[in-house]
Amino acid sequence: MTGADAPGHAARQAVEAAWRIEWPRLVAALTRLAGDIATAEELAQDALVAALEQWPRDGVPPNPGGWLMVTAKHRAVDRIRRDANFARKLELLGREAITAEQPVGEPDSAITDDLLRMIFTACHPVLTPPARAALTLRMVGGLTTAEIARAYLVPESTVAQRIVRAKRTIATKRIPYEVPAGPELTQRLDSVLEVIYLIFNEGYAATSGDRWVRAELCEDAVRLARILTGLLPEEPEAHGLAALLELQASRTPARSDADNGLVLLADQDRSRWNRLYIRRGFAALGRAHTLERGRGRAPGRYALQAAIAAVHAMAPTAADTDWRRIAGLYALLAERFPSPIVELNRAVAVSMVHGPGAGLDLVDKIAGSGALADYHLLHAVRGDLLERLGRAAEARAAFERAAELTGNEIERELLLRRADSGSNPAG
Partner 1 sequence: MRSLILIRLDPAAAPEGGPDDQLMKDMNELIEEMTKAGVLLDTAGLRPIEEGTRIRQAGGTQTVIDGPFTESKEIVGGYCLLQTRTNEEAVEWARRFLRVHGPEWEIGVEVRQLDGEG
Site for partner 1, rule CB under 8 A: 13-14, 16-18, 20-21, 62, 64, 112, 142-143, 147, 215-216, 219-220, 222-227, 230-231, 253, 276, 280
Least separation in angstroms between CB 250 and partner 1: 12
**HSE-CB for 200 with a 13 A CA cutoff:** 25
Of the two residues 21 and 315, which places its CB atom closer to partner 1 in the complex? Answer: 21
Least separation in angstroms between CB 294 and partner 1: 21
Q: Using DSSP, state whether 211 is helix, strand or coil.
A: coil
Least separation in angstroms between CB 25 and partner 1: 9
Q: What phi and psi values does residue 290 have, to the nearest 5 degrees?
A: -60, -45
Least separation in angstroms between CB 197 and partner 1: 15
- List the one residue out of 230, 145, 237, 233 whose CA is nearest residue 197: 237
Question: Would you tell me how many other CB atoms lie within 10 Å of the CB of residue 192?
Answer: 27
Instruction: Output b/e per residue, 62-98; b: 16+ Cβ within 10 A.
Output: ebbbbbbbbbbbbbbbebbeeeeebeebeeebeebee
Of the two residues 1 and 276, which places its CB atom closer to partner 1 in the complex? Answer: 276
For 169-326, where are the E strands, in sequence order? none
Q: Are 291 and 235 in contact (CB under 8 A)?
A: yes
Least separation in angstroms between CB 8 and partner 1: 14
Of the two residues 96 and 219, which places its CB atom closer to partner 1 in the complex? Answer: 219
Whole-Å CA distances, 362 to 240, 337, 340, 351, 366: 28, 17, 10, 9, 6
For 194-278, where are the E strands, in sequence order? none
- List the one residue out of 120, 244, 284 whose CA is nearest residue 186: 120
Instruction: Identify the helix (H) or strand (E) that includes residue 55.
Output: helix 37-58
Least separation in angstroms between CB 216 and partner 1: 6
- List the one residue out of 104, 121, 34 whose CA is nearest residue 76: 34
**Residues in contact with 347: Cβ distance below 8 Å, sequence separation at least 6, in sequence order:** 359, 360, 362, 363, 366, 381, 385
Name the H helices within 103-214: 108-122, 129-139, 145-152, 156-172, 183-204
Of the two residues 18 and 70, which places its CB atom closer to partner 1 in the complex? Answer: 18
Least separation in angstroms between CB 281 and partner 1: 12
Q: Using DSSP, state whether 62 is helix, strand or coil.
A: coil
Least separation in angstroms between CB 232 and partner 1: 11
d(CA 122, CA 105): 23
Least separation in angstroms between CB 335 and partner 1: 33
Of the two residues 78 and 216, which places its CB atom closer to partner 1 in the complex? Answer: 216
- List the one residue out of 17, 217, 207 whose CA is nearest residue 136: 217
Rg value, the chain, Cα: 25
Of the two residues 227 and 285, which places its CB atom closer to partner 1 in the complex? Answer: 227
Of the two residues 179 and 419, which places its CB atom closer to partner 1 in the complex? Answer: 179
Least separation in angstroms between CB 227 and partner 1: 4
Q: Are 177 and 32 in contact (CB under 8 A)?
A: yes
Residues β-bridged to residue 262? 256
Of the two residues 21 and 331, which places its CB atom closer to partner 1 in the complex? Answer: 21
Of the two residues 109 and 172, which places its CB atom closer to partner 1 in the complex? Answer: 109
Of the two residues 5 and 335, which places its CB atom closer to partner 1 in the complex? Answer: 5
Least separation in angstroms between CB 20 and partner 1: 5
